[in-house]
Amino acid sequence: MHGQIVRMSTAALDLAAARLEEIRLEEEKLRSELQEQVEVFGSIPPRAEKSKRLTGIFYQLTVTRGLTTEIKDAEVERIRAACPDGLFRQLFQTVTKFKLAAGATAVLASPLTEDAPRNLRLMFSKAVETKETTPRLRIEKIEAECAAPV
């Protein structure tokens, strides 16, 4: 069984809270410094073009940037009404919600078919919004590749 917990004094509570705040600020500063190191000196790992990695002796640091894509259903419905069905299916997959079809941006980047709406690119930009997500820093301890000599 655990020992009995004794209530901290108000001064002890304040000291503990202040120390915790110091630690949080120090961690924030260190994370920022490490993230900057990775972004400036890191390299792109294989098959991870949205990440940068920097490796130390014991730790591997990876910064990943992602994108979120928001599909606006009402705008997609306008595109569906204006587009031939085959072209619409090249841009969107119909699921419970609309999902960007693989290659949709390539379709829009190339010359459109004659039956495409004249303002399709504008309609598409209103229907699909892409935002960059906040970079995340992941720190992993590197496993020793071989056992220490005996």
95 pLDDT above the threshold of 80? no
Instruction: Decide which of 50 and 37 is more confident.
Output: 37
Question: What is the rounded distance in angstroms from the CA atom of residue 61 to the CA atom of residue 64?
Answer: 10
- Name the token pair of 108: 């829009």
Which residue range forms the structural domain that includes residue 21? Answer: 12-66+134-141
- Name the token pair of 132: 């960059």
123 pLDDT above the threshold of 60? yes
- Please check whether residues 51 and 78 belong to one and the same domain: no
Mean pLDDT of 82-105: 87
Question: What is the rounded distance in angstroms from the CA atom of residue 120 to the CA atom of residue 111?
Answer: 11
Burial class (CB in 10 A: 0-12, 13-18, 19+), 99: middle
Q: Would 109 be classed as within a structural domain? A: yes
For residue 150, name the pLDDT band (cuts at 50, 70, 90). Answer: very low
- Please check whether residues 56 and 91 belong to one and the same domain: no
